[in-house]
Homo-oligomer: A and B are copies of this chain.
Amino acid sequence: MAERRGIIVVVSGFSGTGKGTLMKQLTARYDNYTLSVSMTTRKPREGEVDGREYFFTTDENFEKLISEGQFIEHAGYCGHYYGTPREFVDRMLASGKDVLLEIEVQGALQVREIYPDAVLLFVTAPSAAELVNRLNKRGTESPEIIAQRMARAREEARYIDRYDYLLVNDDLDRCTQLMHEIITAAHATPRCNREFIGEITRSLDEE
């Protein structure tokens, strides 16, 4: 077989469904995954390490990188830039790592445009009732926050059909394993095995 190249795995999903825990679990259990490291222009906090929590940079450099198309996706938030540097992702993919990105629905579809082979996963709660429960009562939050979260979930639900897979997070262990199986399967598609197929076709033609 040809050398294994990594796959981009985009993880989106409703608020409170455990996306982050799932991704951490996956990287802890299997060594073919890496979490994408975002770049930001905000200052490092106590204990944060450049290249681990974030790549820290200046506004000037961030804007230069935007103009060069160096981000897979980026956004402004609270006066700072945040973005996913293409160079880091591409280096990880080339080294054979499957790169996990947690992005919301609009960003996910942008990633797909740049990387048509990306696998898009949407994480949800095990039932509609439980999802609504989780969105409604997270303890201390105001009616405004809850209304915002519901509005966002309604919007997100309209995009589920554009995802490749729906991950029902009923049990962390089982869901982690299913996620791994989905990504393992994605490596077996013809588009991930172009080199091998080309070699087989040539060998048959030469006989």
Interface of A with B (CB < 8 Å)?
1, 122, 124, 126-129, 131-132, 135-136, 150, 153-154, 157-158, 160-161, 163-168, 178, 181-182, 184-186, 188-190, 193, 196-197, 199-205, 207
Partner of A166, one of B132, B166, B188, B201: B188
- Whether the pair B131, A203 counts as a contact (CB closer than 8 A) is yes
Q: Tell me how many chains of this kind the complex includes.
A: 2
The complex places the Cα of A60 from the Cα of B70 at a distance, in Å, of: 68
- Contacts A150-B204, A184-B181, A185-B181 hold; do A197 and B165 have CB atoms under 8 A apart? no
* Closest residue on chain B to residue A189 by CB atoms: B165
Contacts of A190 in B (CB 8 A): 122, 160-161, 163, 165-166
Main secondary structure of the interface of A (DSSP, over half): helix
- Contacts A124-B200, A204-B153, A207-B150 hold; do A193 and B166 have CB atoms under 8 A apart? yes
Contacts of A166 in B (CB 8 A): 188-190, 193, 196-197
- Whether the pair A132, B189 counts as a contact (CB closer than 8 A) is no
